[in-house]
Structure 1
Amino acid sequence: MYCKVVFDVPLDRDFDYLVPDELAAKVAPGVRVTAPFGRVLTGGMVVSVSEVRTAPEDMKLKEIASVVDERPLFGSDLFPLTRFMKTHWGCPVGQILFALVPPQPYFKVDNAPATVHIDIKTPAFTLTKSQQNALNTVRSFPAYEFHPVLFNGPSYTGKTETVLRLAGDVLAGYGQTLITVPDIAAARQFIAEAEARFGANNVFCWHSRMLLSKKKKYFSAISNGLPCVVISTRSGALLPFKNLRLAAVLDEGDDNYKQEENKPYYHLRDLLMFRAKAHGAVLVFASATPSVEMLKMVQDKQVLQIPFTEAVPGHNFTPQIKITDKKGEKSRFLSDFLVSQLAENLQKKETSLLILNRRGYSTAYYCLNCGAYAKCKKCGAILSRENTPEHGDRLVCKKCGHTETLQQECPQCHNLIFKSRGGGTQKIVTEVQKLFPKAKLLRLDSDTLKTKAGQGFEALNALKSGAADIIVGTRLASGALRGAKVTLAAVLDAELELDGPDFRASEKYGQMLFGLRGHLSGVADGRLIIQAADKEAYDYSPLLSGDYNGAAETELLLRESFSYPPYTRLIKVLIKAKDTPLLNAETAQIKRLGYNRAIEVLGPVWCAKKTDVLKKQYLLFKTDEARWLDLLAVLDSYTPAKKVTIKVAADPYDFY
């Protein structure tokens, strides 16, 4: 008997092995084995078994050494799911399979318990008409049929409560539910609520920073098909569900749902569409600010939209919204109006949240008089100042690659004196501490959340308890406001949010503003302050009236007119090399692959930091629905020259 085995290595191929007679009964597609790979025994996975030899006759085949699993850990959708991920996002098959099934031999499926205790505690309060309508609609779907729906409505309209009640229905019927949240901070906040309702033994929290012992326990339980509610970040979509009846994506528009840092790459929305269809499950997307891709799917009748219009009792306030300058007499980062509002909140002992989403690595170049940023004359994005040995001191556009000199004229006030601006949340904390030395300040960003002892977790708790006077954070903080006691929120730099190289910048900015507005509508005397040098750069009228769908419609029209997703497909190729001529030669070679397969090839755009050893730039291929899978396959299978590495990302979200 012969079998083909793949390994967790960046080689997109399988390897032929002989199966010893004593192992023949145990070897099957989907089981893990150990086999000689090079000079060592390595863990691999069997992808096919055959009585017929397919390897060349003159090739000496090695034998499988041992079989790790008694049966496949994943369900019957393992290989269809792998093919789907390979086709839509690229990546070697072995790396995809071992993201779905852990390569470590100690990850094994234990025996399922003889009995399972289920006790669901549903809160006793009257539902709104929108909540009852959503429950009736979903409950009327025939069992074991795929139905994707969107719960769309402002904050505090009961979307999450409706999802939890549907999860209770599934758990009562001994099914499995997956509820995803954008990040670990949100998962940790949400888990206590789920455990109180469904029981701690029936709720599993899954994310990248879990204890290994819990990962093994939960993986085994899910693989055994035990009834459960899984609260997870995006990685939960890769778990081996056997009886998935409901999948729900909370805050669907959040860009954390795209995995682009590590292989395999995928977007949770598309991945769950495939998995829910394979399982015949209901798929619920719930968001106050759904992505324009999701709204396009609603327009195309691929997803059923269920509106949520009535606010739950006690959360129907209208927050005050004011747009101010970016600097004042007392501070070069805070307007005088914002300083006065912070002082007022301190007197009332209420919590304030300041948001500065310091993105990328480059230093922005801004007008000393009014604070406006120098912008690219070609595409209008913010220019970044870079000083490199190869190119000297210059301004670079991270969106289109255009370069300009340091001699700039302010488009707002025609001032000629500019200065570089760096720093982020840490700089703001220092500035605010000078203005309010007695205030308790906390910082909430990815740096402060790296360890349990970090200030970030204290800040997360302070959002709910009100134990801090002022919290300074990135956009991450705006997504952790569920149940928070914040009454004043301020976005410190509108231009920094809007004018990056990401074509989704205005959509993300709008989602953040509407998210803040939604939270503040749940508290009395809620105030939102937006600091902007150019108050006409973004249409704030939908925000003032609370019309997110109107803002999204405008965004869709802009995307269509400029041929960006969801009307086209994008593929980003990042090229890295130590030698500049080699980098440019390889970039030109890859660019030629797009001929006849792409509508347009943008770039190259330089994206290396000053401290990077390797020089980096990327190309952006814009193509249509008919040709994008072919183009992705060509780029994914391309072998670069020696000393050059490339990274291919379909539907990219990272442009920095």
Structure 2
Amino acid sequence: MIFRVAIPTPLYRLFDYRPPIYGPETAQPGCRVRVPFGRREVIGVLVSLETESEFPLSKLKPALELLDTTPVLTQDLFQLTSWAAQYYQHPLGDALQQALPVLLRQGQPAHFQHQTLWRPSSEADLNQLSSRAERQRELLTLLLEHPQGISTDALRAEGGNPALLNTLSEKGLAESFERPPALPHADNTGHELLREAPLPLHDEQLQAVEAMHRAQGFAPMLLEGVTGSGKTEVYLQAIQRCIEEGKQALVLVPEIGLTPQTIARFKARFRVPVLALHSGLTDRQRLDAWLWAREGSARILIGTRSAIFTPLKHPGLIIVDEEHDGSFKQQDGFRYHARDLAIFRAREHGIPILLGSATPSLETLQNALSGRFRHLRLTRRAGNAKPPRFELLDIRQQQLDAGLSAPLINRIHEHLARGTQVLLFLNRRGFSPALVCHDCGTPVDCTRCDARMTLHRQPPHLHCHHCDRQTPIPRQCAQCGSDQLRPAGSGTERVEDRLAVHFPKTPILRVDRDSTQRKHALERIMDQVHQGDPCILVGTQMLAKGHHFPKVTLVAILDADAGLFSADFRGMEKTAQLILQVAGRAGRADLPGEVLLQTFNADHPMLNTLVHAGYDAFAREELQLRRGGYLPPFAYHTLIRAEATRQGLAESFLLSLRELAAQQQLLPDSVQCIGPFPSLMEKRAGLFRAQLLLQAGQRKPLHQTVSILIGLMQTHPEARRVRWTLDVDPIDSY
């Protein structure tokens, strides 16, 4: 018997080992195995059991230990991860590791951490203790009050002395035992599934729920609903049917910030356990949730991108909320897209999958328009809420105060006077995006990136948001020695300062990564907003989605031009999605809302289409442009990125790769090779970056070509001086 093992390395191959001395008869694919690898020991995943190897048996090292008697990776997860590694052209060993919780990667056993509890023995009686042993009698009394068991921490909290437990044990009056942790959020107080009744549905919601209920087997559906149209209620009622059938539901959300409020909404509706899976949990919490999902106890799983690798004993439904969000694409290492893996997984399980968004990605929308996905629409808001009124505010020839125009300031006054709230959106945190010498015009640049340092005032420092470099604020210009260094442009901190001057009696609440770093900071801000008193919210895209602000009647986007002229062909799509997601915070209750977009390009055709005709009209026009330009979703892309410490080295490596492939006639006519060319930001974190774009009308020839190029890159003489990565179906060209 030969163990074929996938090891977490950048190598695109598997490794053969002889079986360990103990336990080879229980070995199965999907089990973890500890093996020697060079001078260290690593934990790999057993892929297969073979009878032959390309190497002599005497040359093979023995595996050190088989860590599992049953596979930790279920067959469906093993298949999902293997497919993902193949599709995204990533080493299988590293991909399988990413599908496991951290503690399992470190070799910890795949079971719950049992808790040691104490209880009275069957013969326990206070009369067996002397009246002078007061502390022992108090402790035994506490144990008798908790015959099912109590932890030492709980005993201490109730005034008992756990140090005396061993004394009681020696006298035969107490005993310890181990118990797995209780499933959190389980509610056994009633036999009914629901804590609260479902909300009444309007006709479009009802059609969507009925379509979900009628779905048989694999059924991909796009739920395109304007913000505030009640998509979450459709999710809840679809999940209700899934739970009634004894199955589990997996809900993916794009960001950790949306997870707590989503979980709160689901817990308020269902009595069944609702568990979270995201990077904010401890390693132990994440493993426990993973295990509860695997054994089927957790009925509803809500998580971010990596939750797609959660095992499900009884899979019944997958929901991807805000499916267009770029957070679902992993941007380093194993560059998978969780939405696309969710579709693959639903197909393998033969279950429905619902992709929800107010602004669907053009790839998903094209799948719906072509009939591959069923297209469900929610065109009006739930309840009595009306869609907000849009207005393009032309700020050409206007004097701006930290990005605020006079008409906007007047409009804010009007809304606050009505007792409502205002939201201002600016996707730039910090005080100012640049610090510039007023005498020579030289900005303070990051020494490690082709980017300017952002000025922060709380606390005062310069910060590069690309490589995280932070420095004190200089006193003089490094170019001319002048002390006239002044901020240029506005960030959320500067807007907050100016708003405090214009509206001294109104609370100004800033929501960005800096203001919400402390634990529960965001929750405290949201609590203040939901009290309903007049206030001004100013923040970044953290405010763009998922939040319900019933008293916000004015939303202003301070820089609607960001992304209109991006070098990335997806720039206009991302801008439109962000604008509409932010605009959706206005007028979500009975109060009418309006949206102001400050722009220097009030006559921009695509911006006018978006504002006056809606996202559907904009998306159809954008799809026509993509079709004409032979761009996704009408073509498929793979980016080969390279980076090196010396300028030009990454570019020359990719050029050499292309020439080598051409010489060996490895590039088929159906695959276009574009580049190499420097990245949009050539220097980042001290490395110079370049990229090579491969484009084709079909996936198969593109993937075959990329596989061949991987082999060339691995044996390339310059490979040791350059770090290269692959990005299949990239969503960012940076």
Query: Where on the TM-score scale, by shorter chain, does this alignment land: which range?
Result: 0.7 to 0.9
Range with greater deviation from structure 2 (119-128 or 171-180):
119-128
Amino acid paired to 1:37: F
Amino acid paired to 2:720: K
Name 1:105's counterpart in structure 2.
107
Distance 2:610 2:531 in 1: 28
Name 1:652's counterpart in structure 2.
730
Distance 1:136 1:39 in 2: 59
How big is the shift at 1:245?
Answer: 0.7
1:446 and 2:513 equivalent? yes
Match of 2:281 among 192, 210, 224: 210
SS in 1 for 2:622: helix
Q: In the TM superposition, what whole-angstrom CA distance separates every residue of 1:544-579 from its partner, at most 9, and x where no partner exists?
A: 446321111011011111111101112222221112
SS in 2 for 1:494: coil
TM-score of the pair, normalised by structure 1? 0.84
How big is the shift at 1:308?
Answer: 2.2
2:394–2:601 contact (8 Å) kept in structure 1 = no
Matches within 5 A, 1:420-459: 421=488, 424-452=491-519, 455-459=521-525
Distance 1:473 1:191 in 2: 24
How big is the shift at 1:5?
Answer: 1.3
How big is the shift at 1:600?
Answer: 4.5
**Quick one: structure 1 residues 390 and 648, their matched pair in 2 at CA, closer, same or farther if it must change by over 3 Å?**
closer
Range with greater deviation from structure 2 (343-352 or 471-480):
343-352
How big is the shift at 1:298?
Answer: 1.1
Matches within 5 A, 1:500-649: 500-523=566-589, 524-545=591-612, 547-592=614-659, 593=661, 595-596=667-668, 598-608=671-681, 612-626=685-699, 627-637=701-711, 638-639=713-714, 641-649=719-727
1:274 and 2:339 equivalent? no
Amino acid paired to 2:618: A
Name 1:47's counterpart in structure 2.
47
Distance 2:563 2:648 in 1: 34
Range with greater deviation from structure 2 (298-307 or 133-142):
133-142
**Quick one: structure 1 residues 387 and 133, their matched pair in 2 at CA, closer, same or farther if it must change by over 3 Å?**
closer
Distance 2:654 2:532 in 1: 52
Distance 1:429 1:390 in 2: 28
How big is the shift at 1:41?
Answer: 2.7
SS in 2 for 1:539: helix
Q: In the TM superposition, what whole-angstrom CA distance separates every residue of 1:449-471 from its partner, at most 9, and x where no partner exists?
A: 44426x54544444544568222
Matches within 5 A, 1:121-520: 121-142=195-216, 145-199=217-271, 202-260=273-331, 262-325=332-395, 328-329=398-399, 331-358=401-428, 421=488, 424-452=491-519, 455-466=521-532, 469-483=535-549, 485-520=551-586
**Quick one: structure 1 residues 124 and 97, their matched pair in 2 at CA, closer, same or farther if it must change by over 3 Å?**
closer
1:326–1:335 contact (8 Å) kept in structure 2 = no
Distance 2:250 2:91 in 1: 27
Structure with more contact order per residue of length (Cα contacts < 8 Å, sep ≥ 6) = 1
1:30–1:78 contact (8 Å) kept in structure 2 = no
Q: How many residues align?
A: 608
Q: In the TM superposition, what whole-angstrom CA distance separates every residue of 1:67-93 from its partner, at most 9, and x where no partner exists?
A: 222311222123321232122212211
Distance 1:58 1:136 in 2: 60
1:570–1:651 contact (8 Å) kept in structure 2 = yes
Unmatched segments (≥5 aa) in structure 1: 369-383, 394-418
SS in 1 for 2:25: coil
Residue identity (%): 27
Amino acid paired to 1:479: K
SS in 2 for 1:497: coil
How big is the shift at 1:330?
Answer: 5.5
**Quick one: structure 1 residues 425 and 609, their matched pair in 2 at CA, closer, same or farther if it must change by over 3 Å?**
farther
Distance 2:182 2:525 in 1: 39
Name 1:74's counterpart in structure 2.
73
Q: In the TM superposition, what whole-angstrom CA distance separates every residue of 1:193-242 from its partner, at most 9, and x where no partner exists?
A: 1111113x610111111122321211001111335111111211111122
1:441–1:470 contact (8 Å) kept in structure 2 = yes
Unmatched segments (≥5 aa) in structure 2: 113-179, 453-485
Amino acid paired to 2:727: A
Amino acid paired to 1:452: K
Name 1:374's counterpart in structure 2.
none
**Quick one: structure 1 residues 388 and 174, their matched pair in 2 at CA, closer, same or farther if it must change by over 3 Å?**
closer
SS in 1 for 2:197: coil
1:570–1:622 contact (8 Å) kept in structure 2 = yes
**Quick one: structure 1 residues 26 and 485, their matched pair in 2 at CA, closer, same or farther if it must change by over 3 Å?**
farther
How big is the shift at 1:305?
Answer: 0.9
Larger Rg: 2
Range with greater deviation from structure 2 (280-289 or 538-547):
538-547
SS in 2 for 1:307: strand
Amino acid paired to 1:601: I
TM-score of the pair, normalised by structure 2? 0.76
How big is the shift at 1:423?
Answer: 5.5
RMSD: 3.4
2:420–2:533 contact (8 Å) kept in structure 1 = no
Range with greater deviation from structure 2 (441-450 or 262-271):
441-450
**Quick one: structure 1 residues 45 and 544, their matched pair in 2 at CA, closer, same or farther if it must change by over 3 Å?**
closer
SS in 1 for 2:5: strand
**Quick one: structure 1 residues 337 and 390, their matched pair in 2 at CA, closer, same or farther if it must change by over 3 Å?**
closer
Distance 2:532 2:397 in 1: 27
